[in-house]
A = this chain, B = another copy of it.
Amino acid sequence: MTEQSGQGSARSQQDGAAGAPRFGRWSRRGVLGLAGTGVAGAAVGFVAGHASVDEAMPAVVDPATVVHPFHGEHQAGITTPVQEHLYFAAFDVRDTTTREDLVELLKAWTEAAERLTRGLEVTEDGAVDGPVLLPPDDTGEAQDMGAHALTVTFGFGPSLFTGEKGKRLGIADRRPAELKKLPLFAFDLLEDPISDGDLCIQACADDPQVAMHAIRNLSRIGFGTVRVRWTQLGFGKTASTDRTTPTPRNLFGFKDGTANVMADETAALEEQVWVPDDATPAWMAGGSYMVTRKIMMTIESWDRASLAEQQRVIGRDKGEGAPLSGGLEFTDPVFAAKNEDGSLAIDVDSHVRLAHPEMNNGTRMLRRGYNFVEGNNALGQLSAGLFFICFQRDPQQFIDIQNNLRGDLLNEYIRHVGSALFAVPAGTAEGEYVGQRLFG
């Protein structure tokens, strides 16, 4: 899935200078990346101040030039190796927007997103090559920065299909039965303005300014047709989709996503993540359902809990991330294992147990969550947490697991304040626009 523009596809080379290899040019990070992600664990020797380069040394590339193709069987940004930064936006269609307006927008979004993921500006004219007496096509803050592994993923919310809106857009009868507002779960304290939405765009990149630039410019293209409902920034992925890099840690200091569905688990992806080819309605074949949950963490309370309590709540140890039944991070937990005093090694209400596939009829999800920090409240407490994103072939997978977490010890330290469900259609072929199988 990963390619570098330096060795890129014919398509990314067609576009001339802006898409061409940038040998000798550097992102402002001034860093080198290992080619792809599969070699990140490869051995490279160093001696004081000088690289000891042996013949097995992997290729190094400027991470700014990493490009994930926009078109494909599935949308990028699901199994794509999780990037470091997120900018997520939910939109509502305006009351005056017609079906034609929305289709035009989806075409324009597709074209712009495809360019952005190649590290180009939204149009040929971009920020500086258009008529000087008009506003520039591109806002320009990512000029020359490169793609930085940007992916742009589109989804449709239930409210797009229902009520007056669904009738006006002519898609009232095309809503999948699974696509409906998520139920209110135990302890949910949802805030309306940061939940739901008619449409969504998930932009992920290894540079925050690139992700921000994508959402800003796509929002700008949507002006007059849709309006921004809510947005979310995130950093420091909290779940990987590949095991070549260490499992990241969430803001509770624990490794997160150890049991995630990985991009190379082909069978699990078919069973758990991708909507099957014989789907109803047919336009969702090859797509997936995306759940987002904004989860505030009461950081100060957590930080005052003992190490033993923290580990009991999670069911894993804080350093290695191994289940409390023993072993290492990727050792399967043994829920029947007991301590010397006869108590269960893994608490029956621990997060790892209640969320585990073994306790959920084998159900799994593909997660791509991010940490967020939004300053401090009036008491000086951190406003921080986890923006949870997961993909599954049926939203019921998330609903069942979330219901099973009703007794989760972790609930004492978290608060769900935002919630949304989106139908993410399959990927596009070249020349096709996102949503064409829905509107076409």
Contacts and interface: CB of A to CB of B under 8 A. Distances in A.
Interface of A: 4, 6-7, 21, 23-24, 26, 28-35, 37, 40-41, 43-46, 48-51, 53, 57-61, 63, 84, 87, 127-128, 130-136, 138-144, 193, 206-209, 212, 216, 219-220, 227-233, 235-237, 244-246, 248-254, 299, 303-308, 310-311, 317-319, 371, 373-376, 378, 380, 382
Q: Is the interface of A mostly helix, strand, loop or mixed?
A: loop
A246 to B, nearest CB: 5
Contacts of A133: 306-308
A126 B253 CA distance: 11
A131 to B, nearest CB: 8
A32 B44 contact: yes
Contacts of A220: 303
A376 B230 contact: yes
Contacts of A374: 374-375
A57 B53 contact: yes
Contacts of A207: 236
A44 B31 contact: no
B246 A28 contact: yes
Given A193-B378, A380-B229, A249 B143 contact: yes
A250 to B, nearest CB: 7
A356 to B, nearest CB: 22
A153 to B, nearest CB: 19
Contacts of A50: 59
Contacts of A227: 380
